[in-house]
Amino acid sequence: MTQSTDRQTRRLARRDYLLLPAVCLLTVLAMFVVSEAGTRLAWSAGHTGQECHAPDPRLGIVNVPNCTMRVKSPETPWITYHYNECGFRSPDACGPKPAGTRRVAILGTSFAEGTSVPYDKSFSALSAARLTRLCRRPVEFQNLGVYELPLRKVMARIGPALRLQPDAAILAIAPFDLEKLNRPDDADDSAGIKRVATAANGPAPRADMLTRIKDVVKNSRAVTVAEHFMFQNPDIQVPMYLQYGDKANFLRPPFSPAWMQRLAAADTLIGNAAARFHAAGVPLLLLAIPQRTQAELMASQTLPPGVDPMALQHALKAIAAKHGVGFIDLSAEFTRNPHPGNLYYPVDNHLNEDGSQAVASSIVTSLSTGGFAAFDGCARASSQGDA
């Protein structure tokens, strides 16, 4: 009798089968709301000033001339982006080249622009300042980089670059740029163009509930902060990245058919760019910036089976040599750091200030010792100054 009574008293009421899961769900939601609120206060993000990116039917995305905006992501300080009268992220005017000045045009996407670092800490500004000291004459960098621009659209900037009458040009590319080359909509309808067009035309249409939930998780500040700390550990981040499949297959030679297709497209684009610059008597250099995981693996003593972090760099260097294009080798500078992943923001994946310093050192070395007429004597001036 007593045992039967005990079993009955231990049996849950029907309402508890609803209340207990509801309590658990509400607890999780409360924890998420509290953590989200706290991280949004401590890891703020924002945008002030004008929207300096605009869609363009021919160029894809353009920077608005004489425009200034300030942007902060959770991992960065407030960054000021100012674009000169030509829409270039450069403090120097883009008119006729001043007498005695050496001018470098840099083309590319967000890495070229110096996204996520103050301009004076970007590799363009650092390179210009160091070369000015080495060459003992003014050296300016006109930065034609545009955030989220497809690589094919970068080629449309060659004309504006040549009008600058540069003494050298640098094309900066990263694995992310190559990854998009075999997408069918890459030429005219990239995600970046869609994003800018949406911002210019007003709010997006209302999405369904599932999409909205996915967006909440994707844009969660708490998730971003958790990823920031988690991705600082190479033992966690590297294996996770290698699970991406096609996205990470540039690290696995021999290259997959998809990556062979991308490299063939890059070969064509680089060849066309080289032909136009060489016809104008302007030397062109290729700056291949590693992806963060790739950079970390460059300094690794033990590599995962089948992984070669230098495979893509070697392939791009061969393409550059084929077309008479100089190659700016970053491996020596990056591997000075035992963990080159620290040269990037863990979640944002752009170079931080330390990474920009490393790239600038490689650019300065390549220009001052590469046998380019405009920079001839800069290395000698440096050695004489050191002596």
For every one of its 387 residues, what pLDDT tens digit does the chain have, with 9 covering 90 and above? 455 555 555 676 777 777 788 888 888 878 878 888 888 888 999 999 999 999 998 888 999 999 999 999 999 999 999 999 999 999 999 999 999 999 999 999 999 999 999 999 999 999 999 999 999 999 999 999 999 999 999 999 999 999 999 999 999 999 999 999 987 654 444 455 555 545 555 555 666 666 666 676 678 899 899 999 999 999 999 999 999 999 999 999 999 999 999 999 999 999 999 999 999 999 999 999 999 999 999 999 999 999 999 999 999 999 999 999 999 999 999 999 999 999 999 999 999 999 999 999 999 999 999 999 999 888 765 444 443
Helices 353-369 & 123-135 angle (0-180, nearest 10): 40
Residue 120 shares a structural domain with residue 219? yes
DSSP code of 98? Answer: P
pLDDT, residue 2, reads 54
Residues 217 and 334 in one domain: yes
- Do 68 and 24 belong to one domain? no
- CB atoms inside a 10 Å sphere around CB 132: 16
| Shared domain check, 25 and 148 | no
For residue 17, tell me if it sits in a domain: yes
Considering the domain architecture, whether residues 171 and 200 belong to the same structural domain is answered as yes
Claim to verify: residue 82 and residue 36 sit in the same structural domain: no
175 within a domain of the structure (yes/no): yes
Taking CA atoms, 283 is separated from 109, 158, 326, 342, in Å, by 20, 13, 8, 32
Show which of 42, 57, 79 is a domain's final residue.
42
267 and 196 fall within a common domain: yes
Instruction: Determine how many CB atoms are found less than 10 A away from the CB of residue 275.
Output: 14
32 and 76, same structural domain? no
DSSP, collapsed to helix, strand or coil, labels residue 383 as: helix
Query: Sheet harboring 326-328: ordered strands across?
Result: 139-143, 102-107, 168-173, 284-288, 326-328
Tell whether 1 is covered by a domain.
no
Considering the domain architecture, whether residues 128 and 23 belong to the same structural domain is answered as no
Taking the alpha carbons of 299, 303, 309, 310 in that order, is the dihedral positive or negative?
Answer: positive
Reference 136, options 386, 387, 385; nearest CA is 385
Domain check: are 20 and 79 in the same one?
no
Whether 18 is in a domain gets the answer yes
Residues 113 and 153 in one domain: yes
Q: How far apart are CA 81 and CA 70, in angstroms?
A: 6
Based on the fold, state whether residues 21 and 145 are members of the same structural domain: no
pLDDT of residue 216: 66
The whole-angstrom separation of Cα 79 and Cα 117 is 6
User: What is the pLDDT at residue 351?
Assistant: 98
Q: How many residues does the chain have?
A: 387
- Residue 80, phi then psi, degrees to nearest 5: -90, 125
Which residue, among 26, 41, 43, 122, has the nearest Cα to 81 in the 3D structure?
A: 122
Q: What is the CATH number of the domain that holds 85?
A: 3.40.50.1110
Q: What is the pLDDT of residue 187?
A: 46
| Radius of gyration of the chain measured on its C-alpha atoms | 25
Give how many domains the chain has, as a whole number: 2
- Please indicate, yes or no, if residue 297 is contained in any of the structural domains: yes
Asked if the structure places residue 115 within a domain, the reply is yes
Structural domain including 20 reads 13-42
6 lies in a domain? no
- What pLDDT was estimated at residue 89? 98
| Amino acid identity, position 282 | V
Tell whether 63 is covered by a domain: yes
At residue 176, the 3 state secondary structure works out as helix
Model pLDDT, residue 15: 76
Q: Residue 249 has what pLDDT?
A: 98
Task: Give this prediction's pTM.
Answer: 0.87
* Predicted pLDDT of residue 370: 92
| Alpha-carbon gap, residue 336 to 272, rounded angstroms | 34
